Structure formats: C-alpha cells, structure tokens
Structure 1
C-alpha cells in the first residue's frame, strides 16, 4: 500500500486538546520538519483534526493549493469512511443489544413458564401418588372386607392410570421437541378407530353422567395413517371435553370428508364440541404453548400438565393438518381438526383384512413362554398374568441365560420369548440378534419386546434387531393378551 511519505511529502496530523489547548500529534512522517507547511483543518463529529503537509522538493503555488486540497479531500474522505464504519458498528451493537434483550426476555418467560409447570406437575404427580399410597395402606388394613377391597383397588387403578398419563405427556413432549417423532403408517378403517375410542371413553362418560354422540360421513373409510398418533389426538381433545364438562353436559364428535385437491387423498374434518366450562378469550392465544394452563388443578380440581394441546398441535402439524379452537367461558369449546390421509388402495385393504386373531383362551393351554426379565417384581407380575391365562412360563434374568436355556431345551419346546431390553450381561437387542443367527428352528421363534423403552424409535430398534412385536411397560393385560394372540397357534 502506498504511504504519504512515499509520494515525496512530509506530513503531520494533530488535534488540539479542548481543555488545555495542547497540541496532540496523532501521526507524522519520520523526517517531518514544520517549515512552509500547508495547514488544513478538517471538522469531524465532536472534534477537529489538523493536517500539515510539506513537499520535499518545495512548493509551487498551483501545487500548494491543488495538492493541499487533494490531500485534505483524501484524508477527510478516509475519516468520513472511518466515522461511518464506527457509526455502523455502534448501530450494530445497539441492534445486537436489543436482540439480546429480547432473547433474554423470551428465555426468562420460558423459564417462568417451566417453573410454573414444575410447581403444577409436582402437585399433580403427588396427588395420584398420595392416593395410591393411601389406598394401599387402607387395602392392607381391610384386606378381609371384600367391598372395601374392591373400592380401594378401583381407586388405586384409576390413580395409577392418571399418574402414567402425566408421565407419558412429559415424555411425549420431550420426544417431539427432540425431533424424533415420525409417522408409522398402516391401513385401517376409520370407523374402527372411532368405535374403539368410544369404548375407551364410555366408563368416564357414565361416571360423570355425560351424553356423547358421534356422526361419521366419509366417502373413503379405508385410509393409510398412523393409528396411534391419530388416536392420541382425539383422546386428548375428547378427554379434555370429558374433564372440563360438568355433570349432565354433552359432547359431540362429528367426522366428515371434505373435498381434497388430490385424488389419492381424503381430507377428514373432525369437530369436537362440548358444553364445558370453556376458556377465556385472553387465554386462547396461549393454548398451544408448552407448560401453560389457564387454571391450576388446585383451582379447578382437575389434574393436568399443560402439555396435552401442545402435543396435539405438534402431531397435527406432523400429519400436515390444521387445528382451530373456539371457546367461551361457561358455554363450551369447539375444536376443528383437518388432516389429509392417503386413500388405501384395494391391495392395501385386502392385506389389512388377512389377519384373524386366535383366541388365547382356546389355544394357550400347554403353551410355554420363555421370559427374559431382570426385575423380579416385573417378572412376578407378568408371570402371574400369563399363568392365569393358561401359559407355562420359565423366567431368566438376562440375555445370556435366555440364550443358554433356549438352546438347552428341544427346538420346539418354547412357543415364544418375552424379551426385556435393558438387562445385565447381554441386552434384549443383542440376545435377539444372536438367536436369529442360530442355525436351527430356534432362529425363527417369535420374540416380543416387553420393555419400558416405549418410544417409536425403541420399537424400530426392536424390529431392526429381529423382534416380532413390542409391548410397553407398565403392562396392560389386554394389550399383552391381544399381542400374544398373533403368535399362539
């Protein structure tokens, strides 16, 4: 880069101290001598800088004026550019500070929401836990009184279900936030889903004295969809209606098919209306925010996490649908969901109808099951359930023992294996892979995962390892027996 001294000129750049009048030299050439100088003053914001220029070969009048103005213009331009750059940096700093402040405010609001959530969850979890502990103690004291025993057991079961649902909500939201949620598509008849949901809701509806009606008007009943996640959406919305509708109220589920832009897609509109307590207009913009609830369970005596609707919104978005909620206090709530589903082909419909489950009660007698479970309490519960339904069970504590016992017995001795995942020495995935690599009939034995690893990615790992089915803990007896139906011959 060229410098002023290289051009044959000596220079000095200085400014005056506004307080003392002292001359402060900012820069100068090495051989500068203040003789016959051209002094130029250049005003910059908040200051004035002076430039003294001396040509090494002396001045001419024209050169003195032109060159002086030329250098003054250059230096002034450089200063102006420098000032502009400094101003832009200051502006960026200001904007960055404002952005940081906004980010900090959002983070603070999120932390406050999560703190409120933790306080609410602490209360909501303790409520069913207290009930379980309390009724268990009463059950022990009144073990010989049949009516009380039945009553206490019912309370323990309902409290356990509530506790499990609270835990599942939190885990589901964590899974969605991590980006691990995806769709598992199967062919099914939507009326079957609607009827199964009605069966689930029936006890709660009767208990609260609510009337429940449904209407189905669809042209393409067989669709390809994720039955579990679609069920979860409706379970959440209708479940909320049941929770927040006072005794004697009404809930209606209306499912219709609306026109779709694609010929291979059926768009379902699901409208759920209730005559419940409703929500305020001020709260509606926040209904899909995580960890928010309009009322705590202490205020309305209804337990919840504030995660149900955020989960529903995330699942609807995952399916490419929309959700809209309208509500008025003391009048009720209307939820409108629209989701596009692929229309099942005739081949897919026929494949979905080929399975006809066997009845366990007719075929279980004498059927031997090998169960790998390292938790003795879980093993005892599962073994008792299976024995009461006609199965013979051998239980081992890890994958090594499972593999050894399987090879020790005749090839057709066990009908299937119930396999835990997290076990010492050899886990369920590794054990399954080793069994599938055996060079005999044992390699084809049905293996069912029975595990607390309950997410979709856990199911995929189980199937990838060679397992045939997946059952989540805590064990639901109906789900267990229904799953066994597929493999009992």
Structure 2
C-alpha cells in the first residue's frame, strides 16, 4: 500500500514537472516575443524621430545653401552689370585688378574670375587662399562656358571639400559676349561644423528609453552618434551595423554577435533619410528586460500553485489514509468481533449441545416417570380387573399422570415458541375481574386439595378499569404458573394471598400490580439470580418431589416482558416468597351485553351427524366413542381424499360438521379442506370444518384458518371443549 502510494506521488511529481516545464516554455516564448516587439518598437520610434530631425536639418541646410548660392549669383550678376555699363578700367585685359578686388569685397565674395569667350582667365582676385586656377579645377569648365551661349542662364553650385568646408560658386555670361564672370564664396570647416552641430546636439543630447545607440552616417562613415567612440568609424568595422546594412533598410529588427563578447548579441534596425543612414541598436540584455522576471514570476506562481495543490492532495490523501486506517481498524474490530462471536457461537453451540443432551436426559426422565406410572397402573388393572375400587382409584392416578405429562409437553412447546419468537399475543377485550374469577376457581380447588388456604383482599382487589385489551390465554398461563408454584412449593397448612392495586393511569393506559405471597419453602438469593433460566431448579430432587421441570418461571418472565410489564420476587428460605407482577393495559370500553349472548352454549351435540377424518385408528375409536356417548352420529374416514369424496357424494345437509385431522396419508387435512370449500354447492362454503391436530404452534393454526377451517383444536382433546366448539359452530352456521 505504501509502495503504491509512493509511486502515485512520483507520477504526480513527474506530471507537475512536465507541466511546469511546458508552462515555463510557453511563458518564455511569449515573454521573448513581447520583449522583442517592444524593443523593435522602441528602436523604430527612435529611428523615426532621428529621421524627422535629419529631414528638418537637411531642409535647413538646403535653404541655407540655396540662399548662399542665390546671393553669390546676384553678386556675379551685379559685376556683369558694372562691366556692361562701362565701369571697367581700360587695361590690356579690360579691367583694373585693384578695382576688381574692391568689387569682390563690395559683394562679399572671396574671389572673382573673368574668363574670355574661350575660357581663359583675363583677370582674377582671390582671398580664400586656394587660387583661381585651383577653384576652376573643382568644376567642369564646359558647364561654366554654357552661360556664354545662353545669356539668360546662370550656373551655381556648392563644392564640399574633405574637411567639410565648402565653396559656393556662381557663373554668369556677359551680355556683350566678351566672356564669363565667375564668383565664389568660401566657408571654412570650422564654420561648416558649427552649422552641422545642430544635428550633433540633437543626437548627443538624445537618450533612448532602453539605453540604445543611435548612429547617423553619410555614405560609409559614421558622422554623428550618441556614442562618440563610433564617430569617424566605417560601417563595415562594426558587426551589428554591417549586419543591419546587409539586411537593407526598413523596420525589420535583426541581430548580430557582440565583437567584445561572442556570447552576447546586439539587436538593431536602420532607415534612410535622403543622404543620411540612421542606425539604432541595443544590447540583448536591454532587449529582454522582462523575459527573465516574467519567467521567474511564472515559476514562483507555479511553485506556489503546485504547493497549494500538493498540500490539498496531501490533505486529501491524509484524510483518505485516516479513513482507510479507520476502515482497517473497523474491519479488524469487526473481524475480531466476528471471531469473538464465532467463538461465542462455538461456546453456545457446545452449551446448546450440552443443554440438548441435558434436556433430552431430563425429558426422558420427566416423560418416562408419568408414562411408567400409567403403564404400571394399566398392568395392575389388568391383573386386578375384578377389584373395581382399585381400578377406579388407578384411573384417577392415571389421569393425574396424563395431566402432568400433558402439562410437561405444553410447557416445552410454549418455551420453544418463546425462544423462536413465534408467540403472538392477542389484542382482545377482556374483563379482568371475570378472568381472575376463572383463574381463582381453578387454583382454589387445587389449593384445597393440598391443604392450602386462600386469602384475597376483596376491598382492594377490584380494579379501576375492568375492561382492557390483552391476551387472555397468556394472562391465564402467567398467573396459573405463579399460583401453581405457590401451591406446589407451600407447606401443609400454609396459605396463598393476593392483593391487586392500580399503579398509574394516563393516556388510556392503566397499569395494575398483583402481589402474590405464599408461606412455602422459599428460595435462596443465589437461586433467585437464575430463576428465569430454563430447566433451573434449586434442588435436584424437585422433579421427584414437586413434579416440575423448571420451565414455568422462564415462560412467565418471557410473556410478561412481551406485554411490557415487569416481575420481581422476594424470598428467603423457610419464609415463603412474594411475587410482584406489574402489567400495563390499554383501557377498553365496556362491551354491550345482549340478552341471548350466553344462551345456547350448553355443548349439546345430540342428534348431530358428524364426519371425522382421522388416520390413527385408536384416536378415531376414542373420539368416535366419546362423541357417540354424547348423542352424536359419527362417520369415520381415514384420509383427506375420503373425506372430500364422501362430502361431495352425499347431498347437502347430510353432515352438520367435519372434524379434520391435519397429517394424513393420500391427502392431508389442509388440502381436503380447500377441496371441500372449492366445491360448487352452497353447504361447501358454510359447513363447519374443525381441525383436530397435535400441531400446537401458532403458524399451524394460521395454516388451518387459511385453508378454510373454522376452529383449531389441539390434541389431546378435552371432550367438553370439543362439544362446546361443535355446538357453537353448528349454531352459528345454521
């Protein structure tokens, strides 16, 4: 698990690094492009500015040149006018040399040259220091002589010398055709540089925003630059300027290596302004000013983002690990609990096996004892059948043994139902006073037989609300068990007393408490801690002496708990016991009594024709004899199919009721009941079908009722109850 988590984190780290490199690469490319565009824009802006300044300077220079040439031309024309108006001096060459110098001075010229019609110098004066012949050598003589042929034409030009000095010259043909007058004005290099210093001032005082370099050249030589070291150098001597020049003019930025550092580069561009070439360039460190900060900023932001994401992932992973650990702990705890439960189940299974063996051993003893008595008494009756008194007495003893055996079986079945959770309490309206009268009637007779006196606090025994909802069968079972123990474990001449009181009443619920006391043998404190456990008895001889198996109080406790009540016991050995039972009841309205409600319940079945389906011949013979003794006519069949066929083949009204066993061959009783109910005849739906079966569980009763039977009677049968049931069902369905 830890190795898998480590691999997962490594994969995440690899993805983060790859993504980071990709983002940084994109940021780097964008930042480089942005910086290059910004630098290119800055260089272009500076070049355009210097271009405008150079254009302005050239315009000013041209204007100055034009004015100077115009002035020289006008001065030469004035000399021509003087010559034409006879002011010349009659010398061999036509003029006076001294007067010619004065004319030049008057016209602010540094030299005058008079040429004949063949271009030869007739007379001249010069104060420039060059000499007239040298000055004439600077221009084409033919161009000068053209003015002689075209008297209206004048010739003017500026000759720039290597030291930046210049000569402004003009030539005008004489009107009289005798020759050409040439005049010129010399401007020294010092003065010429003073004029050019206006551009130099602009360049030297100019500072680029990104600390770049501006250079202006005429031809192949740098004239002016804000870096004075570049002035006078040639373009091809500077790598970046040579590269820019090779690329041509325009606004496209190019780059070249630094001459002093091969790892460094310059970026620059060039544009042209008439006679000037304007260069602008800068070091790459000035170009990419924001690239590195942007990349570093992006790196920091990305690292912070990755840190936040990793922290969240770590937190999520931590929570997941905690949940995983908790789940593992829960799983381990559940596994341990399951193992514990399995161990407990093994222990319980062993206990259950031991209890089963113990139960079978006890039941074998407890069932064989009354059976042994019955078998023995039957043998005695067989040997002494002539002694009617002995036989009669033995019959009473056999009845007692049979009742004890039946009680034993009923207790075992009831406990089995309770343990399986199949006990279903009914919700019937009952009269508590009447119910306890019936219970007292049963118990008082047993008490008198045992020599036990019965006491009841009559003034306190009346309950506040006699009509309540409850389960009468199970209430009888609770109190018959308690009273039975009070009588069974009492001493001769002892007594049993009962007190009933109302504990509380609210919201339609009334809680009663019964306090039942006896003067019997009592119980020890140790035994009271286990009294509600099945098959527990304080003394080993209790089965033999008191004929009990230790299920009574277990059944009582479970039933009271299901009713939402409570039971407590106070007892001491030799001082008797006191049972306190508190049970809550839902208060019921008093039922309306009808005059004929209790009439006709005499159990008279004389004259009734009954069908009985019973596969056991002995049980069939016993039931047939008992019913016929009560005046009924009985037809016996031995399986469900015979019962269905017999009913179908006889006309309606032949039988008044059907007594149906459940477990039979060929066709069981449930199927037979459904078959009869499905017949297409009126009495098939109304004839009473009474189940008589040894199946005593609640689900067995429900199956019988679902199959269409009317009543469920449990074997062994009580003939009085059978009579009353048959008579009641026949009367209802008549």
1:239 aligns with 2:474: no
| 1:437-461: CA deviation from partner (whole Å, max 9, x where unpaired) | 2232322111111111122222222
Pick which of 328-337 and 118-127 moved more. Answer: 118-127
Q: Partner of 1:386 in structure 2?
A: 627
Q: Could you report, residue by residue, the CA deviation over 1:2-30 in whole angstroms, capped at 9, with x for unpaired residues?
A: 5499889xxxxxxxxxxxxxxxxxxxxxx
Q: Which has the larger radius of gyration?
A: 2
Q: Name which of 462, 465, 487 aligns with 1:220.
A: 465
Encode CA deviations 1:388-430: one digit per residue, 9 max, x unaligned. Answer: 1110000111111111111222211211111111112222222
Which structure would you say has the larger RCO, counting Cα contacts within 8 Å and 6 or more residues apart? Answer: 1
Of residues 334, 345, 358, the one that matches 2:578 is 334
**2:403 paired residue number:** 161
SS at match of 2:468: strand
Offset of 1:271 from its aligned partner?
1.8
Q: 1:441: which partner in 2?
A: 682
Residues 351 and 90 from structure 1, CA distance in 2 versus in 1: closer, same or farther, beyond 3 angstroms? Answer: same
Aligned partners of 2:366 and 2:543 also within 8 Å: no
For residue 476 of structure 1, the aligned residue among 707, 713, 718 is 718
TM normalised by structure 1 equals: 0.77
Where 2:666 maps in the other structure, the secondary structure is coil
Contact 2:481 2:556 in 1 (8 A): yes
Structure 1 residues 350, 435: closer, same or farther in 2, change over 3 A? farther
Match of 1:69 in 2: none
Which of the numbers 527, 546, 563 marks the counterpart of 1:319? Answer: 563
* Higher relative helix content: 2
Instruction: Tell me, yes or no, if the aligned pair for 1:187 and 1:352 is still in contact at 8 Å.
Output: no
**Larger deviation, residues 328-337 vs 475-484:** 475-484
In structure 1, stretches of 5+ residues that fail to align are 9-73
The alignment status of 1:416 with 2:660, answered yes or no, reads: no
8 Å contact kept, 2:603–2:725: no
Q: Is the Cα contact below 8 Å between 2:603 and 2:728 reproduced in 1?
A: no
Q: Which residue, out of 296, 311, 328, partners 2:540?
A: 296
CA distance in 2, matches of 1:454, 1:89: 45
TM-score of the superposed pair, with normalisation by structure 2: 0.52
Q: Give distance in 2, aligned partners of 1:311 and 1:442.
A: 43
Change over 3 Å in CA distance of 1:210–1:398 after alignment to 2: same
Q: Secondary structure at the match of 1:301?
A: helix
Corresponding residue for 1:360? 603
1:306 aligns with 2:550: yes
Change in 2 beyond 3 A, CA 1:463/1:101: closer
CA distance in 2, matches of 1:175, 1:239: 21
Change (3 A) 1:314 1:96: closer
CA distance in 1 between partners of 2:650 and 2:482 (Å):
50
CA RMSD of aligned residues (A): 3.0
Structure 2 contact 371–401 (Cα < 8 Å) conserved: yes
How far apart, CA to CA, are the structure 2 residues paired with 1:354 and 1:298?
A: 46
> Equivalents in 2 of 1:440, 1:139: separation in Å?
51
Offset from partner CA, 1:47-78 (integer Å, 9 cap, x none): xxxxxxxxxxxxxxxxxxxxxxxxxxx9xx9x
> Cα 1:260–1:90, aligned 2, differ >3 Å: closer, same or farther?
closer
Give the match for residue 130 of structure 1: 372
For 1:365 and 1:88, locate their aligned partners in 2 and report how far apart those are by CA, in whole Å. 76
C-alpha contact 2:543 2:549 (8 A) present in aligned 1: no
Q: Which residue of 1 aligns with 2:589?
A: 345
Name the SS of the counterpart of 1:277 in structure 2: coil
C-alpha separation in 1, matches of 2:514 and 2:619: 40
Report the Cα distance in structure 1 between the residues aligned to 2:502 and 2:654, rounded to whole angstroms: 51
**How far apart are 1:150 and its partner, in Å?**
0.8
Residue of structure 1 in register with 2:727 after alignment: 485
Task: Give me the whole-angstrom Cα distance separating, in 1, the residues matched to 2:548 and 2:513.
Answer: 27
Counterparts in 2 of 1:349 and 1:254: CA distance versus 1, 3 Å: farther
Query: Structure 2 stretches of 5 or more lacking a match?
Result: 15-313
SS of residue in 1 equivalent to 2:653: coil
Aligned to 1:279: 523
Q: Distance in 2 between matches of 1:5 and 1:186?
A: 74
Conserved in 2, the CA contact under 8 Å of 1:297 and 1:304?
Answer: no
> Does the aligned pair in 2 maintain the 1:272–1:334 contact within 8 Å?
yes
**Alignment of structure 1 residues 370-385 onto 2, 5 Å:** 370-385=611-626
Helix, strand or coil at the partner of 2:512: strand
* Paired residues of 2:373 and 2:401 also in contact (CA < 8 A): yes
What's the counterpart of residue 67 of structure 2?
none
Residue of structure 1 equivalent to 2:696: 454
**Could you report, residue by residue, the CA deviation over 1:297-354 in whole angstroms, capped at 9, with x for unpaired residues?**
36761222221111111111111111111111111111111112222224x5548983
Decide whether the 8 Å contact of 1:371 with 1:395 is kept in 2.
Answer: yes
Contact 1:139 1:152 in 2 (8 A): yes
CA distance in 2, matches of 1:258, 1:90: 49
**Structure 2 vs 1, CA of residues 211 and 99 (structure 1 numbering), >3 Å: closer, same or farther?**
same
SS at match of 1:410: coil
SS in 1 for 2:570: strand
Q: Compared with structure 1, are the counterparts of its residues 357 and 316 closer, same or farther at alpha carbon in structure 2 (3 Å cutoff)?
A: farther
Whether 1:269 and 2:513 are equivalent positions in the alignment is yes
- d(CA) in 1 for partners of 2:669, 2:679: 16
